[in-house]
């Protein structure tokens, strides 16, 4: 898997590092050996969430129209290598109750996330991680409650207001019509070598939204995503917040590079570019765990990962990870100009 870290027009190619992965085997059955599913009662009703692993607390917030079950193999991979993962079903998606407030905004979702962590008993500061829509919520959580967030890793996040173009001039993301989102998502899902892994996982997340009559809620969230502008929040994180890293995949047709580059520059954060479409982490659980651990080491958390007693190579893996990142950021890696 190609991974480059972009900073001010320069890409740093990180060396390949094979990480041990023991999710119990590929597929839902293997993931079930690592992840548990529990429920917590909140003001709005009862919410289900996935959790598993031990070590560094990592909060994962899922994308629009799906659920944590869509990512269960990837979450299991991360929970198997020194992270304590928690991933809630977010309000209004699948069987999850809607927000109590009529407000549909990133602020309202961030407030819900904070209340969820408290209700579920996760009191230690977390690594706030989110994909797509969940990445936007993670930005808001890291901005609003810096005391609860150790760092943030934003995977193909929404929130960059500019940079969308289909065969013409760049225009604001708010100018993208709903049918254009659907068209690009369709292309995203039908391309790539992991199609047979990604399609069933995404369908499993989308179907509950149809069966449980949450279609209107899902469509309301489309407008929240279309109009998202989290540049100021990213700037605030950059000035006084936790470490933040933005991740983007090079064949993402839903969230353009210009949008995530703007977010990264607002926070003075590195932009990590990996291979794949918008749903890359669903189709490549091992690659997801690999990238997450490298990023966590780059954010200064190698001691937490080593201390977690990672199964297999343990401390050796932590040392290899740290050496890889130090080599890259120390200037010994292959440098190339941004395309």
Residue spans per domain, the chain: 23-295
What confidence tens digit (pLDDT) does each residue in 128-137 have? 999 999 999 9
| Among candidate residues 110, 54, 76, 72, the one with its CA nearest the CA of residue 230 | 110
- Give the three-state DSSP class for 5: strand
φ, ψ (nearest 5 deg) of residue 84: -95, 105
What confidence tens digit (pLDDT) does each residue in 4-20 have? 565 443 344 443 444 55
CA quadruple 75, 252, 248, 258: dihedral sign: negative
CA quadruple 326, 328, 329, 332: dihedral sign: positive
Do residues 143 and 136 make contact, with C-beta atoms less than 8 angstroms apart? no
Whole-number Cα distances in Å, 303 to 127, 233, 294, 297: 14, 29, 13, 8
Q: Does domain 23-295 have CATH number 3.30.1540.10?
A: no
* pLDDT at res. 214: 60
Beta strands in 73-146 (DSSP E): 83-88, 126-131
What ranges in 1-84 are assigned the alpha helix state H? 28-32, 72-79
Contacts of 121 (CB under 8 A, 6+ apart): none
* pLDDT at res. 305: 78
Strand partners for 195? none
| Segments in the chain below pLDDT 50 | 7-18, 21-29, 164-170, 174, 179, 183, 196, 213, 309-339
Element (H, E) at 184: helix 178-189
Strand partners for 155? 131, 247
- Give the three-state DSSP class for 175: helix
* pLDDT at res. 173: 54
Do residues 295 and 268 make contact, with C-beta atoms less than 8 angstroms apart? no
Strands lying side by side in the sheet with 335-337: 36-42, 45-52, 83-88, 56-61, 126-131, 149-155, 244-249, 271-274, 3-7, 10-13, 335-337
Taking the CB of residue 315, how many other CB atoms lie within 10 A of it? 12
* pLDDT at res. 249: 92
């Amino acid at each position: 898997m190609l991974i480059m870290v972009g900073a001010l027009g320069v890409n740093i190619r990180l060396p390949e590092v094979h990480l041990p992965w023991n999710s119990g085997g590929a597929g839902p059955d293997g993931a079930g050996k690592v992840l548990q599913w529990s429920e917590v009662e909140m003001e709005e009703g009862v919410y289900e969430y996935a959790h598993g692993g031990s070590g560094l607390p990592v909060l994962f917030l899922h994308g629009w129209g799906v659920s944590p079950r869509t990512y269960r193999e990837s979450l299991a991979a991360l929970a198997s290598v020194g992270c304590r993962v928690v991933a809630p079903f977010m309000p209004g998606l699948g069987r999850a109750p809607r927000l109590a407030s009529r407000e549909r905004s990133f602020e309202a979702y961030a407030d819900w996330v904070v209340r969820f962590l408290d209700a579920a008993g996760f009191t230690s500061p977390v690594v706030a991680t989110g994909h797509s829509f969940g990445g936007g919520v993670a930005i808001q959580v890291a901005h609003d409650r810096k005391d609860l967030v150790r760092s943030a890793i934003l995977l193909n996040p929404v929130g960059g207001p500019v940079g969308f173009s289909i065969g013409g001039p760049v225009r604001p993301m708010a100018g993208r019509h709903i049918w254009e989102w659907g068209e690009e998502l369709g292309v995203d899902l039908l391309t790539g070598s992991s199609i047979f892994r990604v399609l069933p996982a995404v369908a499993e997340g989308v179907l509950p939204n149809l069966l449980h009559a949450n279609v209107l809620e899902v469509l309301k969230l489309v407008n929240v995503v279309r109009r998202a502008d989290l540049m100021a929040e990213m700037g605030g994180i950059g000035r006084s917040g936790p470490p933040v890293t933005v991740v983007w995949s090079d064949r993402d047709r839903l969230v353009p590079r210009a949008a995530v580059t703007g977010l990264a520059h607002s926070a003075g954060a590195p932009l990590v570019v990996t291979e794949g479409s918008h749903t890359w982490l669903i189709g490549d659980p091992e690659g997801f765990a690999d990238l997450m651990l490298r990023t966590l080491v780059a954010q200064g958390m190698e001691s937490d990962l080593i201390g977690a007693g990672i199964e297999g190579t343990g401390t050796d893996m932590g040392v290899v990870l740290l050496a890889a990142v130090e080599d890259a950021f120390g200037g010994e890696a292959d440098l190339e100009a941004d395309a």
